[in-house]
Amino acid sequence: MISDSMEKELFNQLNHEFHSAYLYLAMSAYCSNIEFNGAARWLKLQYEEEILHATKIYNYLIEQGVHVILKEIPQPPSEFGSVLEVFIASRDHEQQMTARLNVLSDLALREKDHATYNLLQWFVNEQVEEEASVGEIISKLKLVKSDGYGLLMVDNELGSRAAPAATA
């Protein structure tokens, strides 16, 4: 049994995960359009991973007997300026997600809702990995700057990302 306030916050988090998916798909479309096909693949896989995150929260709410109310998903941007700007936007977005998850974890602890707290800790750990991988990509893109060969190498590496394992 989860509280009304936690239910409301999990509806919001479910929407944020779907918004994350939508944002990564928009980023992927931008990269496809400028022929950074490796980055486009990486970002499309991230879109799939965010759908799995949303589904994990959805399944949890259903298991808790909650009538899930889905909210409108905000429109993501279509222009990002460069591949580096895409990944900077991704990092900023993930940092905001981490901050939200920390607030939710605090609420779960205050409410002694250990089941939801456990669910949220899975997401908190996932954020550490996501922020680290995006940070690494930003470092590489900053290193190569506008060097064509370097950008090609980074794009090739991004294109080798493996598909996410099912999390839900």
Residue 97 in contact with ligand FEO, rule: CB under 6 A: yes
- DSSP class per residue in 10-69: HHHHHHHHHHHHHHHHHHHHHHHHTT-HHHHHHHHHHHHHHHHHHHHHHHHHHHTT----
* DSSP calls for 101-142: HHHHHHHHHHTT-HHHHHHHHHHHHHHHHHHHHHHHHHHHHH
DSSP class of residue 68 equals -
9 touches ligand FEO (CB under 6 A): no
Identified binder of ligand FEO from the candidate list 130, 137, 154, 155, rule CB under 6 A:
130
* Residues touching ligand FEO, count (CB under 6 A): 7
53 binds ligand FEO (CB under 6 A): yes
* Residue 119 sits in the site that holds ligand FEO (CB under 6 A): no
Residue with nearest beta carbon to ligand FEO: 53
Q: How far apart are CA 162 and CA 68, in angstroms?
A: 31
Q: Does 155 interact with ligand FEO (rule: CB under 6 A)? A: no
Which C-beta is closer to ligand FEO: that of 44 or that of 53? 53
Q: Does 17 bind ligand FEO (CB under 6 A)?
A: yes
Q: Which residues of this protein are in contact with ligand FEO, per CB under 6 A?
A: 17, 20, 50, 53, 94, 97, 130
